[in-house]
Amino acid sequence: MREEAILFGQTRSLVGILTDPPESVKNTNLPGMILLNAGIVHRVGPQRLYVKIARSLAELGFVVLRFDFSGIGDSRVRPDNLPFERSAVSEAQDAMNHLGSARGMDRFVLLGLCSGADTSLKTAWYDPRVVGAVLINPQGDQQDAANELNAFAVDRKISRYYWQTALRNPKSWLRAVRGEANYAAIVRALVFQLRYRYARPKRASSGMNRDPANFRSLVERGVRLLLVFSKGDAGLDYFREVYGEELQHLCSGGRMDLHVIPRSTHTFTFLRDQARLLGLVRDWAQSVTARGLEVVREAT
């Protein structure tokens, strides 16, 4: 395995690390893997997770590029006023262009955590060179979703905090006894949780959200998807609300795999959870290699 530091992009201002597989497992039929920043954490990823993923995939024969979007990590800020949602997609395409010219690749799998997953999805919609995506705790288009859905996501998050974290923390109990707690929020969380569990609440509206249609179109295009969620992540709530039973339907078609890792934080802080995530990504990459790529190649 060999790692190379590179500068690429239209003004050669994007900083990336290109990981090449060892000669013994090199396979030029495999798509290039591109890792997109998780939030504003630079290209090593939270807990250095992206380094582990990149090296692990390279051991399987993949060429992997992890890089910083403009203004993140070591990449320079863009001189234009392009909003992040557009510049990120454009720079993910720059990464594909670079692998195209440097390694002769024309098919790619995008991988990202949190906002990196959302950008992977958006880029996949725009660019037919994307044949697969690994979406780790995507948050979906929550900003543009209907207010009702946003309110639901916030309530669910707060409720989960009280039930799963605050209840176990002696400091929280101490604050409650001292009169320093937010009692209204506690009552709201309790009521929400009870209604959610026992009253079969009506589904929050997804309003004018375009996610489901876009998602469906990707699956129809033959793009292979792996979705991994931490149990209790706000993104999972969002996806379940927006997609409902369609999630299972999409999975049963064999084009999409969905896994929920129990007791994990949003960024897979514990080594135990990092190992589980790494195992899922490796297994998925191997299965895609084994049974999916030729079909995808024909489809594109």
Partner 1 sequence: MVPFYFGPPHKPLFGCYHEPRSGPQRQCGVILCPPLAYEYINSHRAYRQLAVRLSHVGFPVLLFDFYGSGDSGGDDELEGIPPHLSDISTAIDEIRRRSGVAKVCLVGLRLGGTLSMMAGAERGDVEGLVLWDPVVDGRVYIREMTTVHQDLLGHSFSRPKHGTTNGTALEILGFALAHSLLADLETIDLLAIRRKPAKSTLVLESDGGGGARGLSEHLKSMETRLEYQLLPGPRIWLPDREGGLLVPAPTLQSIVSWIARVQP
**Closer residue to partner 1 in complex, CB, 208/271:** 271
**Closer residue to partner 1 in complex, CB, 5/177:** 5
**Closer residue to partner 1 in complex, CB, 243/268:** 268
Q: Would you say 145 and 242 are in contact if contact means Cβ atoms under 8 Å apart?
A: yes
Query: Within 13 Å, how many C-alpha atoms sit on residue 161's CB side?
Result: 14
User: Rounded CA gap, 25 and 61, in Å?
Assistant: 5
Q: Would you say 48 and 55 are in contact if contact means Cβ atoms under 8 Å apart?
A: no
- Minimum CB separation from partner 1 for residue 295, in Å? 35
Looking at the DSSP bridge assignments, the partners of residue 166 are none
- Minimum CB separation from partner 1 for residue 39, in Å? 6
Residue that the structure tokens 């569990």 belong to: 197
**Closer residue to partner 1 in complex, CB, 4/294:** 4
- Minimum CB separation from partner 1 for residue 15, in Å? 5
User: Rounded CA gap, 209 and 152, in Å?
Assistant: 15
- Minimum CB separation from partner 1 for residue 17, in Å? 5
Helix (H, G, I), strand (E, B) or coil at 114: coil
**Closer residue to partner 1 in complex, CB, 263/291:** 263
- Minimum CB separation from partner 1 for residue 111, in Å? 17
Q: Would you say 159 and 152 are in contact if contact means Cβ atoms under 8 Å apart?
A: no
Q: What is the DSSP letter of 201?
A: P
Strands (E), 170-280: 224-230, 256-261
Closest CA to 14 of 86, 98, 84, 80: 98
- Minimum CB separation from partner 1 for residue 282, in Å? 16
Tokens of 171: 């400091």
Q: How far is the CA of 283 from the CAs of 233, 277, 280, 287, 288, in angstroms?
A: 23, 10, 5, 6, 9
Question: Angle CA(212)–CA(214)–CA(219) in degrees, nearest 5?
Answer: 95
- Minimum CB separation from partner 1 for residue 49, in Å? 8
**Closer residue to partner 1 in complex, CB, 269/300:** 269
Closest CA to 184 of 162, 208, 209, 160: 162
**Closer residue to partner 1 in complex, CB, 132/140:** 140
**Closer residue to partner 1 in complex, CB, 213/271:** 271
| Contact set with partner 1 (CB under 8 A) | 3-7, 15, 17, 39-44, 46-49, 51-52, 73-74, 76, 164-165, 168-172, 232, 263-265, 267-274
Pairing verdict, β 14-20 and 64-67: antiparallel
- Minimum CB separation from partner 1 for residue 120, in Å? 19
